[in-house]
Amino acid sequence: MKIIVAIKRVVDYAVKIRVKPDKSGVETSNVKMSMNPFCEIALEEALRIKESGRASEVVAVSVGPAQCADTLRTGLAMGADRAIHVDYPGTLYPLSIAKILKALVDAEKPGLLLLGKQAIDDDCNQTGQMVAGLLKWPQATFASKVVFDEENKVATVDREVDGGIETLSLDLPAVIT
């Protein structure tokens, strides 16, 4: 099974954020950027799945300006087998990213698409759900534990909810955040 992991380049979590003088957004020039911590968790999970023998390949994907290549290199250094950079210098929204990811999934044919639960820059938590809807794949959000049954092509996902832990069973291929 091939796993695609979407990773996002964001302002490093340890950087003190500065608002632009015109108050149009956050200052990002000359600011340390890094992989979104939740995307890093998704990539680590994909690598654990591969190390356990349940996946054949982990592909890291990032959409954005040329500087995203640095984030992808981090993903490769962590252990991803390949990296795909979709160069897009303009403003991106969750639905735009979801449509790009759908096109990549259609081309790559993975058995699993992993994303971070949300990005620390915009806190949107939308892309995973949108891409699952576009693909018509089952989804599990806020996953805390994932177990695979390769024979039946099913993933069992424990997710944290207000009342405790909810367990979902998803047919593969699926989207998990």
- Whether pLDDT at 174 is above 80: yes
Q: What is the pLDDT of residues 55-101, one digit of tens each?
A: 999 999 999 888 889 899 999 999 999 999 999 877 888 899 899 99
Q: Where are the domains of the chain?
A: 2-10+30-133
- Cα-based angle 21, 23, 25 (whole degrees, multiple of 5): 105
- Whether pLDDT at 35 is above 90: no
What backbone torsions phi and psi does residue 84 show, to the nearest 5 degrees? Answer: -125, 125
Domain 2-10+30-133 is found in CATH 3.40.50.620 = yes
* Average predicted confidence (pLDDT) for the chain: 88
Per-residue model confidence (pLDDT) at position 139: 94
> 3-state DSSP call for residue 68?
helix
Report the helix count and the strand count for the chain, using DSSP H and E: 4, 11
Closest by CA position to 176, among listed 28, 1, 17: 1
What mean pLDDT comes out for the span 110-137?
86
